[in-house]
């Protein structure tokens, strides 16, 4: 009797599990943005990233272990600074390796309120290797249009680097969302 009850319970749980899996859908989004970072003021824009903490008795810098930065870089549609702004990359980064090449990043891709994604964010975390052309970080969440976001973002250096400290990086966001069929429409955002 107990054995048949256990088998019946397993069958019911299996049916419920399959039913819940069948009611979700995966949504894939690929976005390409260009991150304009100003390490110092220029004629085009004021500085967007600042060192805020570091080890005592050493000069803080982008290759100095222990230096923490806070930034709010500008995200554009294209590599040109004169293309439309789509949002900002707000975050905190720290030089996390003794050789100065690995940077630990915690950041939000924040889309403009009046744009296509209406103030939505995509949250990222990971290591950016300054000595590599391409780095990959994890997408660990999001808000509004990008709720339940996971995936990855590649961070690629571009030829636009100049003596004034205006650097441009290509960001490719590969976003996956596993949404339930009864999930409220993200179109409301």
Tell me if 68 sits within 8 A of 52, measured CB to CB. Answer: yes
- The per-residue pLDDT for range 82-115, each reduced to its tens digit, is 999 999 999 999 999 999 999 999 999 999 987 7
pTM score over 0.75: yes
CATH for 25-188 is: 2.40.480.10
- The per-residue pLDDT for range 117-137, each reduced to its tens digit, is 989 999 999 999 988 889 999
Neighbours of 150 (CB within 10 A): 15
Domain boundaries, the chain: 25-188
CB neighbour class for 90 (10 Å; exposed up to 12, middle 13-18, buried from 19):
middle
- The per-residue pLDDT for range 11-69, each reduced to its tens digit, is 777 766 666 665 678 899 999 999 999 887 776 778 888 999 999 999 998 899 999 99
């Amino acid at each position: 009797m107990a054995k048949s009850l256990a088998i019946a319970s397993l069958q019911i749980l299996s049916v419920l599990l399959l039913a819940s899996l069948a009611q979700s859908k995966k949504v894939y989004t690929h976005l390409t943005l260009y991150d304009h970072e100003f390490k110092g003021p220029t004629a085009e824009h004021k500085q967007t990233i600042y060192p805020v903490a570091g080890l005592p008795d050493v000069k803080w810098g982008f290759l100095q272990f222990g230096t923490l930065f806070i930034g709010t870089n500008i995200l554009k549609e294209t590599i040109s600074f004169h293309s439309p702004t789509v949002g900002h990359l707000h975050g905190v980064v720290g030089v996390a390796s003794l050789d100065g090449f690995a940077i630990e990043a915690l950041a939000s891709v924040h889309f403009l309120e009046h744009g296509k994604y209406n103030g939505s964010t995509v949250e990222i975390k990971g290591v950016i290797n300054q000595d590599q052309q391409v780095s990959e970080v994890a997408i660990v969440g999001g808000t509004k249009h990008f709720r339940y976001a996971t995936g990855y973002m590649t961070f690629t250096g571009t030829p636009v680097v100049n003596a004034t400290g205006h650097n441009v990086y290509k960001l490719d966001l590969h976003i996956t969302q596993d949404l339930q069929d009864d999930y409220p429409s993200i179109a409301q955002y």
